[in-house]
Structures are given as C-alpha cells and as structure tokens.
Amino acid sequence: MKKIAIIGAGYVGLVTGACFAQKGNRVTIVDNNQDKIDQLLKGAIPFYEPHLDIIVQDALAKKTITFVSTIQEALSQQPEFVFSCVGTPSLPNGAADLSFVEIVAAEIGMHMEQYTIIVNKSTVPVGTAAKVETIIAAKLTERNVKIAFDVASNPEFLKEGDAVNDFLMPDRVVIGVRSEESAEALYELYKPFLTSDKQFLVMTQPSAELTKYASNAMLATRISFMNQLAHLADKLGADIHQVKHGMAQDRRIGAHFLNAGIGYGGSCFPKDVAALVHMGMEQHYPMTLVKEVENINHVQRVWFSHQITNHYGPALATKTAGIWGLAFKPETDDIRSAPAIDVIKKLLEQGANVIVYDPVATENIKKIFGDLITYADQGQQVLQNADFLVLLTEWAEFTTTIPSHFLQLKDRVVFDGRNCFAPEDMKALGVSYYCIGRNSVTDDVPLNHYHVAATQHDSSAWQ
C-alpha cells in the first residue's frame, strides 16, 4: 500500500486516483472546487465516464480514497507520490498554458515534508519536468529546508469513454525520470496493472513528454488522412469504407482511426496538435505535416456544414434541423471541440430551427446554446419533429436504428457525419443520404477553396 496524492479531480486525476485506490493504495485527491469535493465525497461523479462511479463508490466504502480542497492538506498526510493532473488548455497562439502546473509545483515546494516523487501526468510541453524541478527547488530554498525529491513525467493515455479500462489494462506505462530510485518506485506502483515488464517504458523526461504529443498527433494524422482521402474517393467513384478495409488488412497499418467522418474533437487532439505545432515554431522547425493535419480537420467541418446549406439554400431558414449526437465521441458527455457546436452555430446563422438529442451530453450543450435550440428527451422525438437529420456522434442507439425510421423526417434527408449507414439502403428507401467518401452527393465548389480558408484560419479558435 502506497500513499498517493492526486492534484486535480478532472478526467485524468479522478480516473488515476480511483484506479490506484482500487489496488489498495491510500489516495487523496485535491480539487479547489468545494462543490465538486462535496459531491465526490457522496460518490457522485461530475462527468460521465463508464464504470468510474462504481470504482469511486467502492473506494469510498473501503476508505481507500478521500477528497480535500487544498494541496497543503493532502501533503500533510506525507504521500510518497504526488501526481499533478491539472489542465493545460491552449493559449491563443496554440501553446499549452502551464499556469496551473506551475501553481501546483509552487504549492508542493511550499508544503512538502519528506522525500517525494512528483509526477507530471498532465499533457505538458517538453521541458516542463525541468521547469517543475526548478520551481520546487526555489520554494524549498525560500523555506530554508533541504528535502530531496524527484520529478517524473508520466503522460496519460486514457481514452474518454474507456478511461477506466485503459488505466487498469494499459498498452504501456511511459515514465520519464532522472534517477533509478524514482524509476524503481514507479515500477512497483504500476506493477499491479502490468501483465509484462515490457509494458513499463523508462526514458528521459523530454522523451516521455514528447511521446504523448507524438502519439496523439499520429492518431489525428490518420483521421485527417482518411478524411482527405474520402473526398478523393467520392470524386473517383470509390467507396472509402472498402478502401479502409483493404488498408486495414495490412498488419503495418491496422484498422484503428481509419474511419472517415466529420473530424476529431475533444479535449486532447485539437489541443495537443496545436501545442506540437507551437513547439516546432519555438524551435524554428515548422511541423508542416502536423499543421496540415490541423487544417484538414478544420476543412472537414466547413465542408460538412456546406453540404447542408448547399442542399437547402435559402429554404434552410424555414426548416427544423434534427441533431443526433452532441458529445465529441460516444460514451462521454464531453463537448469540448465537438463538431456539434460548429454545426449548430452554422444552422442558427442560417435561420434554421434546431432540435437536438444526446444520451448524456445535453446539459453541457445547454450551457452554450440555452434556449436558442430545443432539447429532445429521446432520438425518436427528433425524427418526429425535424425536417432533416444531422448525425454527429456514433452512439450505439443511433447506429443500430432501423433505416426505415428516417422516413418520419418530413424531407427524408440525412446528413451523416460518421458514415453509420449503407448508402444503398438509404437510397432504396427514398432517403437522400449525405455521407463521406461513399459516393454521396458532393458540392460543386472545389475542396481547395476551403483549404485556403483553413490555412488563413486562426486554429486556436477551434481548441
């Protein structure tokens, strides 16, 4: 059993703390939002993440987890490990905002009482571990005390919607350290989650920090590549679904992240791609490929919205648009950088009425649009009240819909941002079906028209 402090009760911090507590460690989680702390002490999770509530409630019952509102209180319990899991949002120039990381480091330096391993689990630019070391050392000097400590980089690889499984059964655990002592201690901490020592990867701090950005940028690149290829497939009469299948059989490529669609969103890919572009600029080595990934993702959203406006023209102002899916992906209520936000804004600009439904993300979207749009209690209600449907999140309850249900739409038109249905089935029903890369109806404006706009676009606005 280890004593662990977790700073930040967001997606990363809460999942990390809960999973460590499940293995019998003593975990204290810090958050400066007292209302959130009060809810967590009752076992109520402030966001949707499958199975997390069960683990937290079990840990509370076993008294292996607790929640406090100050770092000082957490450190007074003399934890062996302190995990920094605070947010690193994008600044206007695309750089990661490290202000929360720096505040946490200063607080640790002011209140630590014994040798501690401080672990950066937040996604942070290369060089942050060294910066944290400097801040903590400065605070110890101000206190006129000598306390040994180590700083490790331990980036998270947690998919929203499957974060608990990712932590309990990781592909790999990446550790960036400068001492064998901290590496060995972290290995013992993570050992209960490993099925093989090969999963535990020890490297330098800068390498660990860059690994996180490199991983997310690679996945984002696969998405943008397939989306650009899908437009070419449409123009050539090819089926991107068949192309994907042909590619995926190559073991060097595989099937993951090869689905054409409206593009990536969420809290990680947009932010991390922008940060990697910024790091390249700082080093006078432009990350041109990564920048193009970012541009293509923006293009995809503009292009998709244009399918709707091009189909209806001025008549869109007289229509009611139905939206299925508000979260950026299934099994989460996270709407950060969600395509739904951009599509809804475009529809409202054109004067359309909008009715939306999502299994879990409705309350979050209300914070943005309020009473400007209508909120349905179920997907069927959207079909019964809309002229056409826009599908933006591939929740299972949407993808398993019997296509004949779309005949309830007044105009019998579906704009599918996730390629959930077979175009031939929709055509046989008499449904106008706009999808991506599957011989759907395309616009007459060349795609490079949007490429120019995207290149000129301030990408930070999409983070």
Active-site residues: which are they? Answer: 268
Q: CATH 3.40.50.720: which residues of the chain?
A: 3-204, 244-461
Answer yes or no: are the C-beta atoms of 117 and 152 closer than 8 Å: yes
Could you give the angle at the alpha carbon of 134 between the alpha carbons of 72 and 6, nearest 5°?
Answer: 35
Distances (CA, A) of 142 to 136, 137, 401: 10, 9, 64
Question: Is the pLDDT score of 460 beyond 80?
Answer: no
pLDDT tens-place string over residues 268-283? 999 999 999 999 999 9
Sign of CA dihedral 389, 391, 395, 398: positive
Q: What tokens were used for 267?
A: 């809290």
Rounded Cα distance, 62 and 54, in Å: 12
- 3-class SS string, 329-356: CCCCCCCCCCHHHHHHHHHHHCCCEEEE
pLDDT for residue 449 is more than 70: no
Task: Give the pLDDT confidence score for residue 440 in this predicted structure.
Answer: 52
Instruction: Report whether 290 contacts 224 (CB < 8 A).
Output: no
Task: State pLDDT tens for residues 161-201.
Answer: 999 999 999 999 999 999 999 999 999 999 999 999 999 99
250 pLDDT above the threshold of 70 = yes
CATH number of the 3-204 domain: 3.40.50.720
> Considering the entire predicted model, what is its pTM?
0.91
CA–CA distance, 133 with 152 (Å, rounded to integer): 10
Between CA 28 and CA 25 the distance in angstroms is 10
Query: Mean pLDDT, to the nearest integer, of 332-339?
Result: 96
**Which pLDDT value is given to residue 453?**
41
Q: Residue 258: what residue type? A: L
**For 45-59, 258-272, 437-451, which range has the lowest pLDDT when averaged over its residues?**
437-451
The DSSP symbol for 378 reads S
Tokens at 45, concatenated: 């999770």
The Cα angle at residue 326 between residues 323 and 327, in degrees rounded to 5: 155
Instruction: Note the pLDDT of residue 251.
Output: 95
Check: CB of residue 357 under 8 Å from CB of residue 381.
yes
Q: Is 81 helix (H, G, I), strand (E, B) or coil?
A: strand
Residue given tokens 């400590």 in the structure block: 149
Task: Tell me the fold of 244-461.
Answer: Rossmann fold (3.40.50)
pLDDT exceeds cutoff 70 at 445: no
Over the chain, what is the mean pLDDT?
Answer: 94
Rounded Cα–Cα distance for residues 168 and 192 (Å) = 9
What was the pLDDT predicted at 175? 98
Q: Residue 458: pLDDT above 70?
A: no
- What the block records as the tokens of 35 is 């209302």
